[in-house]
Structure 1
């Protein structure tokens, strides 16, 4: 069964929140849009691979987006499958055009029809994940568990070529639709070799218990502060920023769409970026003139009020 499902990565969620609130003149905006595009493509590829791996949920234990800490190192695994006789790491790659695995120089080359680009070698990357996972398992007294990995190519139209050892590459690299069969075949090989049956669900739960959430300081990475963000409530109808506050709700100045809850997403997005929000920040973000209105809005937004002395500094409450 699947005991950990995939959600949109926090860094991508933050980029989706920040980009619409930046001035078109912000110097690093193109770089941020390119980063969001890159992360979005990766996430889309993982969803495609998840679709094919779901077939294994009836016989194995599946975890999406595993993020573990071991010996002062964090490591991330796109998909982890605890089988009957081994553990399988799935690394997803979502490239369009033609990709070439150079097994001699240990490099991945992509040719999109216009330009060739070089990338880190996925097999080296996944071998590192295997090394970290093995050490994590040893630390938790789970020894002698076979660990294998596969590179799943998300887009079925991607052409896979090999420069070097084609047979070795073909054993670990395939389009996503082939990966479940490769896992089942390998697990059956382990059974025939006399490997003991694993408590796959218990192993999966142990991993789940220690899973963290991968995050990045997007604001710091791109040199942003809250002063760079533009305030205003986005219209759920047309997407324009700057809805006007009316009694008990909001109205869009452009399409006249009315909403009672348009502000909730804005408040939650601000907390996603900053960890908390004060009524002063709420007034600025939503364009409110009344502190009491900001307090009511925050109290009804599903946030937790921090009842600490520092929250009363300058009569500002923190949520």
Structure 2
């Protein structure tokens, strides 16, 4: 049972919008690609967890602060006898370990992913101690991508390879799990301690004027949009979307990229590059947002 489901981080959403509306540097593109790929891998693992039998409490995408240290957990499974802490990696290609260091096939050293797992396990154990909870922790690093290979890995590492995933899930299913109120309270505690957003994001500097305006096609992320009665149609892929849905999506994008910018009819009209009339935008805003102020000084907020 999923107690806390996974959702895209604000950082990933912002980078996705910026990738479409401006030119990111190569370093920024790599960071965006890594976040996107990581999120895809985590969703794949969530699908596997969906098939778990027995009683489990599953929490995804947790962010905690313990002793002024912030740490993140991809997936946490609460069972009758203890906790499974899972770090999911969507690495692709050939890697190897040499003298306790990790390398790509082209001999580029990468950060040891086990360090993050051990750090998270240690901090989670401290969080449990702070709340006088005596629960065992099993921590695993899971490589979800079937195109991943790691050479020269010691056999005793807490790693689950793609070819071992099915067996790992079967072993979890074999563990009978009967939960009680204590487990539920612990899950509630973790949800309460979770931080919504990390302050350690890597966003490029950007301003309103440098970003391309217009409505982005939800199907292919292009700007070639035309109006067909009550729908917007993409001239590139043919995808059609209700005008209301497209405008609301564009408003969400605007507020995420510029949270301090007031949402007005004129602001949305300009952001959408006047694809529809101000009258249509005002009607959509009035029905879906709360209006504050009067006349030219009025603006909209979430109701």
> Structure 1 length as normaliser, TM-score?
0.76
Q: How far apart are the structure 1 equivalents of 2:232 and 2:55?
A: 50
1:230 corresponding residue in structure 2: 212
C-alpha distance in 2 between matches for 1:274 and 1:217: 18
SS for the counterpart of 2:16 is: helix
Alpha-carbon RMSD: 3.5
Q: Deviations over 1:248-269 (max 9, x none)?
A: 6656677696743222211111
Q: Deviations over 1:90-141 (max 9, x none)?
A: 1111122222244x43x32222xxx233222122211110111122222223
1:129 aligns to 2:120 (yes or no): yes
Equivalent of 2:148 in 155, 158, 161: 158
Change in Cα spacing, 1:198 to 1:250, as seen in structure 2 (3 Å) is closer
Q: CA deviation at 1:70?
A: 2.3
1:167 aligns with 2:152: no
Aligned to 2:82: 86
Q: As a proportion of its length, which structure holds more strand?
A: 2
Alignment of 1:27-46 (within 5 A): 28-46=24-42
Return the offset for 1:244: 5.6
Equivalent residue for 1:297, pick from 277, 284, 290: 284
Task: Find the partner of 2:104 among 105, 110, 114.
Answer: 110
1-structure distance, mates of 2:119, 2:294: 49
Task: Say whether residues 1:212 and 2:201 are aligned partners.
Answer: no
Determine the structure 1 residue equivalent to 2:271: 285
Question: Hey, what's the Cα distance between the residues in 1 that align with 2:95 and 2:82?
Answer: 29
Query: Which position in structure 2 is the counterpart of 1:194?
Result: none
Cα deviation, residue 291, structure 1: 5.9
How many residues matched? 293
CA deviation profile, 1:161-214 (whole Å, cap 9, x unmatched)? 235xx2322x444333343356568x78xx9xxxxx993333222212322333
Task: Supply the distance in 2 between the matched residues of 1:61 and 1:256 (Cα, whole angstroms).
Answer: 39
Evaluate the alpha carbon distance shift between residue 260 and residue 66 of structure 1 in structure 2; reply closer, same or farther with a 3 A threshold.
same
Match of 2:136 among 138, 146, 152: 146
User: Which residue number corresponds to residue 71 of structure 2?
Assistant: 75
* 8 A Cα contact 1:86 1:198, kept in partner: no
User: C-alpha distance in 1, partners of 2:90/2:220?
Assistant: 31
8 Å CA contact 1:19–1:29 kept in 2: the answer is no
Structure 1: which 5+ runs fail to align? 192-196
Using a 3 Å threshold, how does the CA distance of structure 1 residues 216 and 233 change in structure 2: closer, same or farther?
farther
**Contact 2:71 2:120 (8 Å CA) reproduced:** yes
Q: Which residue of 2 aligns with 1:51?
A: 47
Q: What is the CA–CA distance in structure 2 between the aligned matches of 1:247 and 1:159, rounded to whole Å?
A: 52
Change (3 A) 1:150 1:34: same
| Residue 269, structure 1, aligned to residue 246, structure 2 | no
CA distance in 2, matches of 1:67, 1:57: 26
For residues 233-272 of structure 1, what are the structure 2 equivalents within 5 Å?
233-235=215-217, 239-241=221-223, 243=225, 250=232, 259-261=242-244, 262-272=246-256
In structure 2, distance between residues paired with 1:88 and 1:240: 42
For residues 69 and 256 of structure 1, the distance between their equivalents in structure 2, rounded to whole angstroms, comes to 43
Q: State the alpha-carbon separation in 2 of the partners of residues 266 and 61 from structure 1.
A: 35
